[in-house]
Amino acid sequence: MNYTAELEYLMKVLKKMRLPAVLVTGEKLDEQVPDLGLRHFLGLEEGYRYEDLSLEENTVYKINDEFMCRYIGVLLPQPFSADALLMGPYMSYEPTEEQLLEELERLGLSATRLPQLKQYYSAVPVLLDESPLMILVNAFAETLWGTGNAYKIVELSRDSTASAALDAVGAKESREDVLMQMKVMERRYAYENEMMETVAKGLTHRAKMMMSNVSLTMFEQRTADPVRNMKNYIIICNTLLRKAAQQGGVHPFHLDRISSAFAARIELIHNLEEGRELMGEMMLSYCRLVRQHALRNYSPPVQKAVTYIEAEPAADLHLQHLARTLNVSAGYLSTLFHKETGKTVTEYVTDVRMDTAANLLRHTQLQVQTVAQHCGVGDVNYFSKMFKRHFGLTPRQFRQEHLAQRMGKK
């Protein structure tokens, strides 16, 4: 049978979801991964192949690559003119700056390339909830191959050729189940929109009221473990609240630290009550962050200076260069900056760089030299002296002490 109309409809829906999708013709699926130019940027065009995998019909492939990106591939039956449909890349979460730095270090690239890598990942769509996409894909697969055991879902990893086939019967829901899920999803999205508005405006009193209305139906039942379901939902909320606080005027520098801290604490939840408490604390913390660090309290020149300093700790941040970048005089910027922040430009830059370094040392295993480069200090020995003046410990001592504290709490 000819299912061209169904394929065209699926492609239109994917386009509305802003999810890249290509029809592969005349080549193997594993040779045409549309990665939006990442491997070209990294100089790895020839290094990406699923050489050992034999892709089959009647199968939906969920592909996880070595760069945190996901794809969905389907080999199309005759008489389609194309051989396969490939959807992606997309991500299930937004990578943190620490993860990107670790990626650069793994590939042997300088931390100074972080801005370009950030720019790439900003173009990759993020699907915090993959279920709507999989409902579409399952519906298309049923059209092609039928229901029941007519097809399977296989997960592939770039790092491992092992695949896990999922029972297609268990992966599909009845029409009634889908409608019920849609209603629950609508209620959940309405709650999330209100939650994001509350945080963006820093309304702590409203946040406290909202937490009393948290329903267990919001935690999507993806596993048999209710605590795991709650953790998954709080992970999603952590990302949403970070976005909301950014809309409220908080710079990503501050957001990344609080987001990373909550991400670690989420995995330590043992029961539903602990999850509720952490959810409430998370909402209030983001609200307070908006009230405390919103850039709108500064004049436009100082807003731009603070944003630039905190976003680009590796850049040339001397007063003269910063003034030229902002198209103001050095004297004017120096006076205004000190008046509004209570610090000189040099003091502020040093604080930002040292706080950034401390955060990386706490939460990553990056080499000290990589941390120094990311903080705008090329000489690792000079960086170590700066760090010790600021914290009273060398970078290695600081990391060891933090690790010992973490181990002592376990």
Give the confidence band of 333 by pLDDT, cuts at 50, 70, 90. very high
Of 272, 295, 318, the position where a domain reaches its end is: 295
So what's the pLDDT on residue 163?
37
Of 295, 311, 346, the position where a domain reaches its end is: 295
Query: In the structure encoding, which two tokens stand for residue 81, read together?
Result: 């003119």
In this structure, the answer to whether residues 330 and 253 fall within a common structural domain is no
Q: What CATH number is attached to the domain comprising 386? A: 1.10.10.60
The answer to whether residue 32 sits within a structural domain is: yes
Which of 1-10, 154-163, 309-318 has the weakest average pLDDT?
154-163
So what's the pLDDT on residue 377?
93
DSSP states along 256-288: HHHHHHHHHHHTT--SHHHHHHHHHHHHHHHHH
Of 117, 146, 171, the position where a domain reaches its end is: 171
Give the confidence band of 212 by pLDDT, cuts at 50, 70, 90. low
Pairing of strands 59-64, 152-157: parallel
DSSP states along 394-409: -HHHHHHHHHHHHHHH
Short-list 111, 80, 89, CA closest to 3? 80
- pLDDT of 169 higher than 50: no
Cβ atoms of 148 and 169 within 8 Å: the answer is yes
So what's the pLDDT on residue 326?
93
- Average per-residue pLDDT in the chain? 80
So what's the pLDDT on residue 204?
73
In this structure, the answer to whether residues 20 and 163 fall within a common structural domain is yes
Question: How many helical (H) and strand (E) elements, i.e. helices and strands, does the chain have?
Answer: 18, 6
Q: Where are the beta strands (DSSP E) in 273-353?
A: none
Distance, in Å, from the CA atom of 159 to the CA atom of 315, rounded to the nearest integer, reads 35
So what's the pLDDT on residue 176?
56
Query: In sequence order, which ranges of 158-212 are alpha helices (DSSP H)?
Result: 168-171, 175-200, 204-211
Question: pLDDT tens for residues 370-396?
Answer: 999 999 998 999 999 999 999 999 999
User: How many structural domains comprise the chain?
Assistant: 3
Give the confidence band of 305 by pLDDT, cuts at 50, 70, 90. very high
So what's the pLDDT on residue 43?
67
So what's the pLDDT on residue 373?
92
Question: pLDDT tens for residues 38-97?
Answer: 776 666 654 444 444 456 788 888 888 878 888 898 888 877 767 788 888 898 877 777
Distance, in Å, from the CA atom of 85 to the CA atom of 60, rounded to the nearest integer, reads 10
So what's the pLDDT on residue 345?
96
Question: pLDDT tens for residues 25-37?
Answer: 755 444 555 666 7
Distance, in Å, from the CA atom of 287 to the CA atom of 291, rounded to the nearest integer, reads 7
The answer to whether residue 102 sits within a structural domain is: no
Distance, in Å, from the CA atom of 315 to the CA atom of 98, rounded to the nearest integer, reads 18
Distance, in Å, from the CA atom of 110 to the CA atom of 310, rounded to the nearest integer, reads 19
What is the arithmetic mean of pLDDT over 339-349? 93
The pLDDT > 70 percentage for the chain reads: 79
**Plot region of 98 (φ>0 → left; ψ -120 to 50 → alpha; else → beta):** alpha
Question: pLDDT tens for residues 109-149?
Answer: 888 888 888 888 888 888 877 778 888 888 888 888 887 67
Distance, in Å, from the CA atom of 342 to the CA atom of 320, rounded to the nearest integer, reads 19
Task: For residue 371, give its domain range.
Answer: 298-409
Give the confidence band of 336 by pLDDT, cuts at 50, 70, 90. very high
The answer to whether residue 97 sits within a structural domain is: no
